[in-house]
Amino acid sequence: MDTAAALDVIAEAKAGFLEGFLSQKELDGLLEAWHRITSLPSLTYADGRFIFDPRLYSELAFARLATHPLIMEAVRRVIGDCRLVRLQLVATSPNASMPSTRESLKGFHVEHHLHSEVHPLLSRDTNSWVWVNFEMLTMENGPLAVSVGSHHVDLLKRRLDLAQVVAATQFHVGSAGATAVFSGKTLHCGTNNCSKVVRKGLYVGFVPAQPQDVTKRGEHDLCHLAINDYEAFAALISRPDYLVPHSSAK
């Protein structure tokens, strides 16, 4: 699928995939940054999948990825004008002996609650997530599973059952640089990493620039960085009004 068609799917389904937009040099820079961060002492990990460490925000390659024009456009198609709210490094160790199958998928969930107290069915807006793989992923590497179009769950009119959610699910496989984009209301789940390698990537979160119901901020959001780290990251990003305001801002 070409980029324009992929963006149209993302606009319509509030989820989809992009590929082929990062050069080998950019991918090499991202992988180098991934290795630099994961070899730091005393990292802040979560879930055995993600790293939230504030030192992530000092990596120019990550700042460049988070401001990539295609990523910006894809997120704009999902939630409109937006602000960057979070970076998480993907570092999922092998955790299974068999790959997941469509039939074995479990744990579908949404990310909306990270930035809103309003139930996803009632919330007027939501957050958006971009996940970039730094290496080639197959089913053995435990790709993210995204139920494309599942943000439409509506208990009155468009009731979705699990079979429909699974039927609409696509796996985030593909060559290095393959990127998944989805809304905070999109059902998704993890799959088994039965390879011998750690899954590597960056997970980037955005919230609407003028949030209505998406006003909650979490401890891992960049607004809670130490002010010096926040300002240093804003300088790396080097675009006005790109980040959510710091928690100390009036």
Ligand X SMILES: O=C(O)CCC(=O)C(=O)O
Provide the binding-site residues for ligand X, judged by CB under 6 A.
47, 49, 92, 144, 188, 190
Q: Residue 185 to residues 113, 152, 160, 192: CA-CA distances in angstroms?
A: 9, 8, 13, 23
Query: Judged by CB, which is closer to ligand X: 75, or 145?
Result: 145
Q: Taking the CA of residue 77 as centre, how many other CA atoms within 13 Å lie in the half-sphere pointing to its CB?
A: 23
| Shortest CB 2 distance to ligand X, Å | 26
Q: Residue 107 to residues 52, 69, 146, 162, 188: CA-CA distances in angstroms?
A: 22, 32, 12, 11, 8
| Shortest CB 242 distance to ligand X, Å | 24
| Shortest CB 208 distance to ligand X, Å | 20
d(CA 195, CA 122): 40
| Shortest CB 49 distance to ligand X, Å | 5
Query: Judged by CB, which is closer to ligand X: 190, or 208?
Result: 190
d(CA 78, CA 186): 11
Query: Judged by CB, which is closer to ligand X: 2, or 47?
Result: 47
No. of helices (H) and no. of strands (E), the chain: 6, 10
| Shortest CB 141 distance to ligand X, Å | 10
Q: Are the C-beta atoms of residues 161 and 66 closer than 8 Å to each other?
A: no
Structure tokens given for 149: 């179009």
| Shortest CB 4 distance to ligand X, Å | 27
Query: Judged by CB, which is closer to ligand X: 49, or 77?
Result: 49
Phi, psi of 24 (to 5 degrees): -60, -35
Query: Judged by CB, which is closer to ligand X: 123, or 193?
Result: 193
177 Ramachandran zone, left/alpha/beta (phi>0; psi -120 to 50): left
Q: Residue 215 to residues 4, 119, 123, 124: CA-CA distances in angstroms?
A: 31, 13, 11, 11
Position closest to ligand X via CB: 190
Query: Judged by CB, which is closer to ligand X: 177, or 205?
Result: 205
